[in-house]
Structure 1
């Protein structure tokens, strides 16, 4: 269960910025950053997590990593480029470990061949190409870019092992949030899972280019969350 919570953190985090319905009047260009978080499970601080965005020309690498002591760890990596503020997906990988057990997932986006290929623990699959298809990490980047330009799209298409699915978000309002790194004015957003017992809520800080400063998830049996502890990058 803890491994699933760790690996799903970035899936939730992918959409964190999605909820924000207020665009910045002074848009900032996409810039590299590093953010650190404390990770909690069922109300107990279990470890740490990081989100890092690196740039090499127009090639971007986005990495999410979480670790709960020696018990569990997960790392997700997305490679993409930007064309007129639109994310162009290249490939994605996830590796997770939990007390000796491992899990892996890969996505290869092939616009020329009009296919999206996935591999989950050695089981290969392929889907028809979907324009604008994103992965769990670079979807967050796309949402931020949209917020800084013309606003959110009606739907975002996120790829997982089962295919490409639409995601929607609901704005709950604004809230001043205290974190170990400081207090931020945030936009509070809920990811609609379509199940009453399951919810994910994000707190996005416009001052930090809509970085998620807090994420909280509850599935009825357990809960987990991350809270910002440090940040290196652009600010408004």
Structure 2
């Protein structure tokens, strides 16, 4: 593994285009990224995100968050999100997604996608919910990766089909401009992206010509958390 030192770069002159699933080009490169996780400005844990190639166009994307300080450490708060997806028609498509969050109690979610029947099954332990899959559909775990892959190809308005509990949401994102961002990994000129179709807060700062994941992300879905990149390595 070669650890990359993350320099500051300026992204400018990107064409204004609308994302389609055809916008994805080269398949993603495996990586490991470590983030500092905080809530309301207080450090609470560490996230380790990995992408592994399984062969035959199959990938495993894992996001593990461990509470290391404050109340999160006292409660033993941890979460595990693991997605298996395929690279199909130059786009990622979720095949399975498993989520587990542990603190005072444990919450779990399993999503299975049958691409032969084009059906999605979501189970949180109270019986499965089923609905129709859509081409290029990802899940909430891989959404930030899929978004980064779209930005890598110059898109500034992005629509992603995201499978949630009961349906596929057409989530919309827009590049708001370029901003200076400082995180533990270094200083960057990054594209700030916001979600525009929902009142759920989502801001992410990407350097897409280098990395498929954001260098910083703040979101309210799943908890008011901020993730800041600490280090990134790839083969």
TM bucket (normalised to shorter chain) is: 0.7 to 0.9
Count the aligned residue pairs: 207
2:79 matched residue in structure 1: 74
Following TM superposition, by how much is the alpha carbon of 1:130 offset from its aligned partner in structure 2, in angstroms? 2.2
- 4+ aligned runs moved over 4 Å, structure 1: none
With normalisation by structure 1, the TM-score equals 0.78
Q: How does 1:146-165 map to 2 (within 5 A)?
A: 146-149=150-153, 151=155, 155-165=159-169
Of 180-189 and 209-218, the range deviating more from structure 2: 209-218
Task: Give the secondary-structure state (helix, strand or coil) at the position aligned to 1:194.
Answer: coil
Following TM superposition, by how much is the alpha carbon of 1:86 offset from its aligned partner in structure 2, in angstroms? 1.4
Q: Unaligned 5+ residue runs, structure 1?
A: 1-19
Q: Is the 8 A contact 1:85 1:145 kept in 2?
A: no
1:62 matched residue in structure 2: 61
After superposition, the Cα gap between the structure-2 partners of 1:142 and 1:217, relative to the gap in structure 1 and judged at 3 Å, is closer
After superposition, the Cα gap between the structure-2 partners of 1:73 and 1:106, relative to the gap in structure 1 and judged at 3 Å, is same
- Encode CA deviations 1:155-201: one digit per residue, 9 max, x unaligned: 21101112111101122211121111111221001113533xx5221
Distance in 1, matches of 2:176 and 2:158, equals 17
For the aligned residue pairs, the C-alpha RMSD in angstroms reads 2.6
Distance in 2, matches of 1:153 and 1:113, equals 30
With normalisation by structure 2, the TM-score equals 0.78
Distance in 2, matches of 1:127 and 1:138, equals 19
Q: Unaligned 5+ residue runs, structure 2?
A: 1-11, 16-24
Task: Give the secondary-structure state (helix, strand or coil) at the position aligned to 1:231.
Answer: strand
Q: 2:28 is matched with which residue: 27, 30, 35?
A: 30
After superposition, the Cα gap between the structure-2 partners of 1:94 and 1:231, relative to the gap in structure 1 and judged at 3 Å, is same
Distance in 1, matches of 2:229 and 2:158, equals 29
